[in-house]
Structure 1
Amino acid sequence: MSDSDLDVEGKASSVAFVLSIVALTWYVFILSLGLIGWWNARKRYRLRPRSPLSSAPASAVPGVSVLRPLKGLDANLYENLESTFTQEYPNYEIFFTVEDEYDQALGVVRDLIAKYPNVKAEVIIGEEVVGVNPKVNNLIKAYRQASHDILWVIDSNVMVAPGTLARSVDALDGPPSATQSSRRRIALVHHVPFAFATERTIGSRLEEAFLNTNHAKMYIALNSVAVDSCVVGKSNLYRKSDIDRVDGTLKPATASNRDYPHGKGFAAFGRFLAEDNMIAGALWHELDLRHDLSCDVAKNAVGNMSLSDYFWRRVRWIRVRKHMVLVATLLEPFTESVLVGILASFALRHLFGFPIWLFICLHFALWLSIDLDVYASLAGHPLPPGADWWMFVGAWLMREFLAFPIWVFAMGGSVVSWRGNRYIVVKTGEVKKIGPDTESSGWFNWGSWRRKTNDNYERLQTID
């Protein structure tokens, strides 16, 4: 072997050594992040104490306006909405908002208003178009009519425990000592989504396996580290007085020569599809305020979700995130168990001769154990042994192996479908409506013949 061959072989060996070290370091980092999520899930969600606000007189607690956008008969709708009426909190009002007077959800709402006459509740019919986001258009009237500064925006497919509002207000106001310290004020309190399937279809099981394990673990971890905003909008509390000071540009509100080309307040977020995430980011970056998780979960009812529904739902939010946080979205596959495990297994074999098959088995056993314990923390009980346990584990494995191909597909486009319409996502997560979801082409058209909308606000049609 010549000297040049030896030199090339030496350089290749050095590169392989460096890449192996990088891969192992990254593996330890992602595993550590997962352990942070697992540990904080145990600390935060295994004990949910009753708030003293639950039994306080109405005059002694801050008022809260609850905003629930509706469209059609979502899965578990009656129980979801009823959970708002049964909150153990003495001073709140509820606004139910629908686009038109023929919406099927109105029958459910009126039944509940009659059942709970002592709860102040009002129905607002008719949207006001302030942007392309139909949820913002649906809510804007209730936002303006709300009597209280604290708003609780909660999706129609979410059910919450009776003590959720009181504990959330506790978290929003913070302990008395917090106002006397240098700690930044809490401007938003949110809840980890916890899925429960009302119909045992493959998409529903995948959604359960995703939201209740990997998503929850990383969501809790990122909010525990708290280096930036990370919020899902299933159930959020914030103050109207704060929202009225931001516009979604994420530029500090205190900056000199600051202008507001989109206006300020809730209506300014109508240009985004992920208005919840942008509101949270605006409070963080524009007002330099912070978020907090309460010890409650947002129980997300998942109805008849097919594999196609699940696929397109994941594609939609990856495409939205791509235009909001590009670097984080590019790194996303390297946080998933499959890719990070493969990279670490090759690194260990190169450095120490450790068998790839053995590491992969140990890796997935560890990952699954952590995720199942996160599930137990959120649910309040472990998965029962038997057929359901094996079904859940099967869905978990399928979800893990589907993550990378879904990501690859999603990164190839910017068109998304939501509530029967098609949008193109542009810079900073803003969207432009490009027509009804009927004439998709290219990558986006794949599988659309099987896809049916199953989003939070889709109406069920009836035949007269």
Structure 2
Amino acid sequence: MVSRHIFDFLMGLGILGLISSTVFQGMVFVGAARFLRTRKKAPGPSGFCPPVSLLKPLHGDEPNLEAHLATFFEQDYPHYEILFCARHANDPGLAAARRVAARYPHIPAKFLSTGDRTYINAKVSSLEKMAAAAGTDLFIISDSDVRVDRNYVREVVAPFACEDVGVVTCLYRGEASEGLWSKLEAAGMSIEMTSGVLTANMMEGMKFALGPTMAVRRRCVDEIGGFGRLGPYCSDDFLLGNWVAAHGHKVVLSGHVIDHVVLNLSFEASIKHQIRWMKSTRFSRPKGHFGTALTFAVPFGLLCFLSATHLGIPHLGWLMLAWSIAARMAMAAAVGFWVVRERNLLRTTLLYPLRDLMGFFFWAASYTSSHVVWRGQVYKLAKDGLMLPASDGAPEREPAVTT
């Protein structure tokens, strides 16, 4: 009897999760339709082409780095410069950037280094250095592991024609050419991340930025206290957009979508990266992160299947499990095709139910520890993703994947 009551409860929990995830999926579709209408109305090429500084923080060499950097030198835009910065002048990433820049001598490029005295988040030190050396008042910050089209700068800059726009950011599709785990991570980037952003944009407007592309006015950076204020935080992208929005400026989600290349090819590297990202989100926006549990479908479909089988109604369990899988495939197909223009749509659609299941466990794992590893050092996360030195009792090496 006790056992039946437990499975009755689990069945109810599973049904609740399927209902909530279905509602969320409906919200994603509405948010996607709204995004598509906005993208369709976005202004095309025009005379608004202010000078722009592209800021590219670098850290070591990466697969295909030169090819990725080259896409920023091939922009269909009249006046822009590119600044690169790493911790050390002999960083392999800077060497790669110099080789690429030599092929495009008509594009102004600067190469900088910060030295060893950096913030915990060394990327912020690079941003501070590049901003000081930049010759314009409009910055486009992008990660080293992204590829862009020729109209990237033009489309990202367009919303700044409105003076009340302070930040522009972009959705991105995950790109992975080899390895199951990297392809699953790419599916999460393309579908899970995009779905969450579309819903947030629809519900309350953009109050944050996305790290692969953050365009911002210099005066907005100055208003929040400079890039250096972001130095001790893990989620510099979220906070940059959040703080600029808090000062009364608009954060705009561009209709332009970029490629975010997955660099974590092994199971261990991919899992650790995704759990760290979930932990960062947990501290950056704790209420929203807690509610994320109810947006997953496959974990609740599986729970319904196991409970229904124990209760003697396996056909109902199979139906609920099938619904959860089909629903996630439908969401992956719709978001992948219409929104991010996924290049590997069939693969992403087929893999996404498994990624949805994994995402729930990443979410659960984010509550097992407040420690993260950042550039080989262990830190404890606090409010807003503030990184504090680990306590004396904290582990001195990277925690196991299961933490």
TM over 0.5: yes
- Give per-residue Cα distances to partners, 1:2-26, cap 9 Å, x unaligned: xxxxxxxxxxxxx99x989976763
d(CA) in 2 for partners of 1:136 and 1:23? 39
Q: 1:401 to 1:61 in 2, by over 3 A?
A: closer
Matches within 5 A, 1:30-429: 30-40=24-34, 42-43=36-37, 51-53=44-46, 56=47, 61-127=49-115, 129=117, 131-174=119-162, 185-198=164-177, 200-227=178-205, 229-246=207-224, 264-285=225-246, 287-339=247-299, 341=301, 355-378=316-339, 380=341, 383=344, 389=346, 392-429=348-385
CA deviation string 1:424-457 (max 9, x = no partner): 111221102449x98337xx23479xxxxxxxxx
Q: Which residue of 2 aligns with 1:8?
A: none
What is the identity, as a one-letter code, of the residue corresponding to 2:227?
Answer: F
CA contact (8 A) 2:127 2:227 kept: no
Q: CA deviation at 1:300?
A: 1.0
Identical-pair percentage: 22
Cα distance change, pair 31–379 in 1 and its aligned pair in 2 (3 A): closer
The code of the aligned residue for 1:283 comes to V
Deviation at 1:40, TM superposition (A): 4.1
| Offset at residue 42 of structure 1 (A) | 4.6
For the structure 1 residues 230 and 447, does the alpha-carbon distance in structure 2 shift closer, same or farther, using more than 3 Å as the test? Answer: same
Contact 1:75 1:301 in 2 (8 A): no
Q: Secondary structure at the match of 2:102?
A: helix
Name the counterpart of 1:7: none
> Are the equivalent residues in 1 in contact too, given 2:85–2:94 (CA < 8 A)?
no
Structure possessing the higher radius of gyration over alpha carbons: 1
Q: Measured at CA, do residues 309 and 446 of structure 1 come closer, stay the same or move farther in structure 2, by a change above 3 Å? A: closer
The letter for the 2-side match of 1:400 is: D
Partner of 1:260: none
Q: Which amino acid aligns with 1:445?
A: A
Cα deviation digits, residues 336-369 of structure 1 (max 9, x gap): 1224556899999x9xxx9342233134213212
Alpha-carbon distance change, 40 to 297 in structure 1, aligned in 2, over 3 angstroms: same
Query: What secondary structure is seen at the aligned counterpart in 2 of 1:365?
Result: helix
Partner of 1:261: none
Mapped to 1, the partners of 2:111 and 2:28 lie a distance apart of 42
- 5+ unaligned residues in a row in structure 2: which ranges? 1-8
Residues paired across the two proteins, number: 391
Contact 1:333 1:403 in 2 (8 A): no
**Retained in 2: the 8 A contact 1:65–1:93?**
yes
Q: Deviations over 1:116-174 (max 9, x none)?
A: 11111111123474531110112211111111111101111111111011111112324
From the superposition, tell whether residues 147 and 382 of structure 1 become closer, same or farther in structure 2 (CA, over 3 Å): closer
| Letter in structure 2 aligned against 1:157 | D
Partner of 2:400: 445
Q: Distance in 2 between matches of 1:341 and 1:21?
A: 8
Asked whether the equivalents of residues 23 and 343 of structure 1 are also in contact (C-alpha less than 8 Å), the reply is: no
8 Å CA contact retained: 2:57, 2:85? yes
CA positional deviation for 1:202: 2.3
Return the alpha-carbon distance in structure 2 between the equivalents of residues 101 and 20 of structure 1. 55
| CA shift for structure 1 position 197 | 1.2
In structure 1, how many angstroms separate the alpha carbons of the residues matched to 2:37 and 2:304? Answer: 29
- Give 1:6's aligned residue: none
Q: Distance in 2 between matches of 1:133 and 1:304?
A: 20
Go from structure 1 to structure 2 and tell me whether the alpha carbon gap of 1:223 and 1:76 turns closer, same or farther (over 3 Å shift).
farther
Q: For residues 96 and 336 of structure 1, what CA distance do their matches in structure 2 show?
A: 39
Q: Which moved more, 1:424-433 or 1:25-34?
A: 25-34
Structure 2 contact 175–260 (Cα < 8 Å) conserved = yes
Note the residue ranges of structure 1 that are not aligned, 5 or more in a row: 1-14, 180-184, 247-263, 449-464
Secondary structure at the counterpart of residue 244 of structure 1: helix
Go from structure 1 to structure 2 and tell me whether the alpha carbon gap of 1:114 and 1:204 turns closer, same or farther (over 3 Å shift): same
Aligned residue for 1:191, secondary structure, equals strand
Of the structure 1 ranges 217-226 and 272-281, higher mean CA displacement relative to structure 2 is found in 217-226
State the AA in 2 paired with 1:229: K
Residue 75 (structure 1) shift: 2.5
The whole-number CA distance in structure 2 between the counterparts of 1:196 and 1:411 is 28
Query: Are the counterparts in 2 of residues 219 and 230 from structure 1 also a CA contact under 8 Å?
Result: no
8 Å CA contact 1:132–1:433 kept in 2: the answer is no
Shift of 1:383: 4.0
Which amino acid letter does the alignment assign opposite residue 369 of structure 1? Answer: A
Alignment correspondent of 2:3 = none
Q: Structure 2 vs 1, CA of residues 212 and 381 (structure 1 numbering), >3 Å: closer, same or farther?
A: closer
Give the superposition deviation at 1:27: 4.3
Cα pair 2:276 2:366 within 8 Å, conserved: yes
SS of equivalent to 1:75? coil
Supply the distance in 2 between the matched residues of 1:195 and 1:86 (Cα, whole angstroms).
22
Going from structure 1 to structure 2, the CA distance change for 1:378 and 1:78 (only over 3 Å counts) comes to farther
Q: Does the Cα contact within 8 Å between 1:193 and 1:299 map onto a contact in 2?
A: yes
Q: Deviations for 1:58-78, whole angstroms, at most 9, x for unmatched residues? A: xx6311111001111122211
Root mean square deviation, CA, Å: 3.4
Kept in 1: contact 2:328–2:356 (CA 8 A): no
Question: Relative to structure 1, is the Cα distance of residues 378 and 194 closer, same or farther in structure 2, using a 3 angstrom cutoff?
Answer: same
- Residue 241 of structure 1 deviates from its aligned partner by 0.3
Deviations 1:389-425 (Å, cap 9, x if unpaired)?
Answer: 4x54553232122122222222111111122222211
